[in-house]
Structure 1
Amino acid sequence: MLNRFASPISSLLDARADGHSLPAGLYTRDDVFEADLDVFFMRHWIYVGLECEVPEAGDAVVIDIGKISVILLRDDENEIRVVRNVCRHRGARILDAGPTVVSKLVCPYHQWTYELDGALSYAPHMGKDFDKSCRSLKPVQFKSIGGLIYICLADEAPKDIETLDEVMRARLAPYDLRNAKVAHQVDVIEEGNWKLTMENNRECYHCSANHPELCVSFVDLDFGFDPESLSAEDREQAEAHFAIYAERTKAWEADGFPSATVEQVRDCETNFRTQRLIIAGAGESQTEDATAASSKLLGKMTRKDLGDTHLWGHNSWNHFMGDHAVTAMVIPLSADKTLVRTKWLVHKDAVEGVDYDLHKLTHVWIETTNQDADLVARSQAGVSDPAYEPGPYSRFSERALDDFATWYIDRMRAHGY
C-alpha cells in the first residue's frame, strides 16, 4: 500500500472542499480507479446478490469484480457458500460469469473437482502422497442480511456490518426475501465513474425534470428542498406532507413495521441509510400508476399500504414494497464505466401473466435506470473537461452527496492514500 503522503492521489483528497463535489481526478484517473477497487470493493462489505438466486443445492452464480471472481452457491447441506472462482491447481477460472447449476465444481482445465462446500475431492495424477485437504477453494467472508448477500474480500472485515444487520433484520423480515425469486434482471453499463453513479442515486434534486415515470410514485420533497424558494402555497403543501409523514411513520411503527430513518453515513466503515418512504398517488408500488404490480404479495405481507423500505449502501440501492422489490448492484469496470445490475423480485410462487405483468413490474425502473445512465454520462463528460471545477452541493437537496464524498475521502485516507 502506498503511503498517502507519497501518493499523488493524496493531493486530490486534500483538495476536496467541504460541501463541494470531488476534484476531477478522483472521477477520471486510472490510478484512482485502482485505489477505489482496492479500498471500497476489496476491503469493505459490498452487496453482490441474493439467497433466492441459489434456491437449491447446486445452484450457483458467478460475480466478477475487477480481477476478482467469486462463486455464490448453495451446497448439498442447503447452506449458502461464497468461494473464490480460482482453481487451487494452476489458477484457472472454474465457472464462467453468470448463473449455472452444477453437481460439483469441476475445473475445465485439468478436471480438478471440488464438492459444493469447496473441498477438493479429485485431483488426477497428483500422486498418492498429495494432500487434497489443504487445497480447498478459498472461502469468502459473507453475511446474509435478510436474504441480501454481502461479502468482504479482505482478511479483516469491518465489524460495523453488525449495525446494518441489526437494523435491517426486522425491516426485511416481512418481505421474506429468501422465499422470493428474480423475475427479471437488466445489466446497464453506464459511461461514468462509479462514484458519479452513486451520487446520482443519492439525490432527487434531478428527479422532477428527468424521471416522469418514477415521480408518479416518488415524492421528491422527501430528499430535501429550499423552503425559501417555495411559494407560500407550495410551502404549506410541503409542511402538510411532512406532517402526514410523521403521522404515517408513527402508525407504521405502532403496527410493528420499523420505519424511521437510520443512517450510518459518516465516521464509519459500513455506509448505509434506510427509511420507509411514503409512495405517492395510489400508494402501493413503484409502477406507472403506483398500484401493485403483483397480486401475490411478498413473504408475509398482507398490506399494500406500507410504502417503500429503501436501503442504500456504497455499491447498492434497494426498494422493498408489499408486492415486489427492486435491488441494484454497482460494479466499477474502469475509471469511466460502471455496471448497474438491477433485479426485480416477486414471491417465489408468483406466476408471470397470472399474478404479475412483467412490463408493469419493470417499466418504471428500466426507464429510470436508462435516464440515469444518460445523466451519469453527461456528468462524466463534464468532469473530464478542463473547465470543470468542483461545485457546491445544495445543503437542502444534496446533503447525502456531501456525506458520501466526506466518507469516501475519510476511508481513502484510513487505507493509506
Structure 2
Amino acid sequence: MSEFVLKPLGELVRSREPGCGLPGEVFSRPDVYETDVHVFFHKHWIVAGVTADVPEPGDVSVVDIGKASVIIVRDDDENIRAYRNVCRHRGSRLKEAGKSTVGMLVCPYHQWTYDLDGSLRHAKHMGHDFDATCRSLLPVHIKVVGTHIFVCLADEPPADIATLEETMTPRFAPYELQNAKIAFESEIIEDGNWKLVMENNRECYHCEAGHPELTLSFVPESTGASADDMDEEGRKALDAYNKVNAESQSDWESEGYICSPVEALSGDVVTQFRTQRLIIGGNGESQTMDTKVACRKLLGNLTRRDLGDTHLWTHNSWSHVMSDHAMITYIIPLTPEKTLVRTKWLVHADAVEGVDYDLTKLTEVWVATNAQDASLVAINHRGARDPGYIPGPYSPTTETYVDQFVGWYASRLKAHGY
C-alpha cells in the first residue's frame, strides 16, 4: 500500500484547474492555516476595528490575530495607536482580547507600566543602569481610512495601502464616519475556513435562495446576472436596472458623490480591495426590510437619504455605507475550520436609540444575512473536506470575484515563496 503524501501548499494551489475552486485540502490542513495566518493576516494590511471602538482617550481595543495580539488605543492627544500586546519585560500579555478603558497600560505580571504613547514609565527593581527608553512597547503599523482601522504586523507594510486610502477617503468623507458610534455589534464563529467565508461574500449566486431579507434592498441585476440566461421579462428588467443605475449615478456625481467602481483585485496588487456606489432597491434609501432609512439622523451633515450603498471589500472585510448607517464586518481566522466574523453597525454619534432609530430595524437585515451565511459556509466547508470533492467550475457571470480572489490568493503565496 502506497503512503499518502501531502503536497506542499504552493504545488497544491497551482494544481487548481483554471476557473475552478481550490482543492479541498487548503480548507482544513493545519499547515495551510498557519501559512495563511502568517502571510495574509501578519504580512498584509487587515481591518481590525473602527474608530468608534476607541472613542475617548484611554479607550483600548485588543484584537488577537493567530498567535499575535494587537493593542489599539486612543492616546491623550486623540491619536489612535497600535502596539504589540507583549510586555517588554518577559513577554506577558498586557490586556486580554476585548475592550476596556485605562489610564496607563500595566502588565499584570510584574506591573511594568506604559503610557498610552507606548513609553515605559515604571519598572521597579531594575537597578540604576536600566534604560527605560529602550523598552517602549513595540509599535504596529496603523492606518485609519474613514472609520476603518487597518493594521499590519509586518516590519515593512505593503505600500499600496496608499491606493486604498486615496480612493476611499473622498468616498467616505461626506459620511463623517469618525463622528459615528457603534449602535450594535455581533460576533459569530463560523464553522468554516476563512477563505470560504470570503468566497461566500464575493458572490451573490446564492443570494436569491439564501438571503430573502438582503435581496429586498439588493437589486438582482446588480449581482452579475447574465442576459444570456434570461427570458424576455428578465432582459427588460436588466435594461431597466441599467437605465436607473446610470441616471442615479449621474445624479449623485453631479452633487459630488463618487460612484465609479475601483477594482484592485489581481495582478501585482498586494492590498486587495474593491469599491463602488450601488443603487438600493425598493424605496432606495437603506438596507432595511422596507428599504427606508433606519436612522432619521443621517450620518455627517447629510440631508439626502437616497445615496445608495457605498461598499468596500478587502481580503478580510466587507462594508456597506448608506446615508443613515454603516455596516462593517471583518474576519479573523481562529483555526483551520473556524472563523470569527465580527460586525458593527454605526450611526451618527448624536443619534438616540428609540428616538432617532429602532435597533431591530437597523440590524435585522444583516443579522439575518450573517446567520444565513454562517450556515452556508458550514455546509460548504463540510463538503469541501469530503474525499470525494472535486472542485467544479465557477459561474463566469456571478462568481467572477471568487475566481479573482482565489487567483490573488495564489499569487500572494507565490510572492512569499510558496
TM-score w.r.t. the length of structure 1 is 0.97
**Matches of 1:219 and 1:22, distance apart in 2:** 29
The range that moved more, 233-242 or 112-121, is 233-242
Q: Is the 8 A contact 2:221 2:237 kept in 1?
A: no
Alignment-mate amino acid for residue 398 of structure 2? S
2:412 & 2:332 partners in 1: Cα distance?
18
State the SS of the aligned residue for 1:295.
coil
The separation in 1 between residues aligned to 2:13 and 2:305, in whole angstroms, is 45
Written as runs of structure 1 = structure 2, the 5 A alignment for 1:312-327 is: 312-327=313-328
Q: Residue 52 of structure 1: CA displacement? A: 2.1
- TM-fit CA distance, 1:21: 0.7
Distance 2:218 2:225 in 1: 15
| Letter paired with 1:330 | I
Between the aligned partners of 1:239 and 1:202, the Cα distance in structure 2 is 24
Deviations 1:135-176 (A, max 9, x none): 000000011111211011001111111110011010000111
Distance 1:93 1:84 in 2: 9
Moved more, 189-198 or 225-234: 225-234
- Contact 2:194–2:339 (Cα < 8 Å) also in 1: yes
SS of 1:351's partner is coil
For residue 346 of structure 2, what is the amino acid of its counterpart?
Answer: L
For 1:3, the equivalent position in structure 2 comes to: none
Alpha carbons 1:205, 1:220 under 8 Å: kept: no
Matched, 1:230 2:230: yes
Mapping of residues 93-108 of structure 1, within 5 Å: 93-108=93-108
CA distance in 2, matches of 1:78, 1:14: 47
Supply the distance in 1 between the matched residues of 2:271 and 2:219 (Cα, whole angstroms).
27
Query: Which residue number in structure 1 is paired with residue 404 of structure 2?
Result: 403
What is the alpha-carbon distance in structure 2 between the residues aligned to residue 366 and residue 183 of structure 1? 13
Aligned length: 412
Pairs within 5 Å for 1:291-330: 291-330=292-331
Aligned partners of 1:173, 1:7: CA distance in 2, in Å?
Answer: 47
Contact kept, 8 Å, 2:325 with 2:347, in 1: the verdict is yes
Deviation larger for 294-303 or 273-282: 294-303
- Counterpart of 2:198 in structure 1 is 198
How far is the alpha carbon of 1:7 from its aligned partner?
7.3
Structure 2 CA distance for aligned equivalents of residues 109 and 382 of structure 1: 45
Alignment of 1:40-79 (within 5 A): 40-79=40-79
AA partner of residue 68 (structure 1): A
Deviating 4+ runs (over 4 angstroms) = none
Mark the runs of 5 or more structure 1 residues left unpaired by the alignment. 1-5
Cα RMSD, aligned residues only:
1.0
Question: CA separation in 2, counterparts of 1:68 and 1:10?
Answer: 24
User: 1:300 & 1:243 partners in 2: Cα distance?
Assistant: 29
Aligned to 2:359: 358
The AA in structure 2 aligned to 1:250 is S
Asked if 1:269 is matched to 2:270, the reply is yes
| Distance in 2 (alpha carbons) for counterparts of 1:7 and 1:150 | 33
CA contact (8 A) 2:284 2:292 kept: yes
- Cα distance in structure 1, aligned partners of 2:55 and 2:237: 46
Residue 189 of structure 2 contacts residue 341 of structure 2 at CA under 8 Å; is this kept in 1? yes
For the residue of structure 1 that corresponds to 2:126, the secondary structure is coil
1:242-391 aligned at under 5 Å gives the runs 242-267=242-267, 268-391=269-392
Using the size of structure 2 for normalisation, the TM-score is 0.97
Q: Which runs of 5+ in 2 are unaligned?
A: 1-5
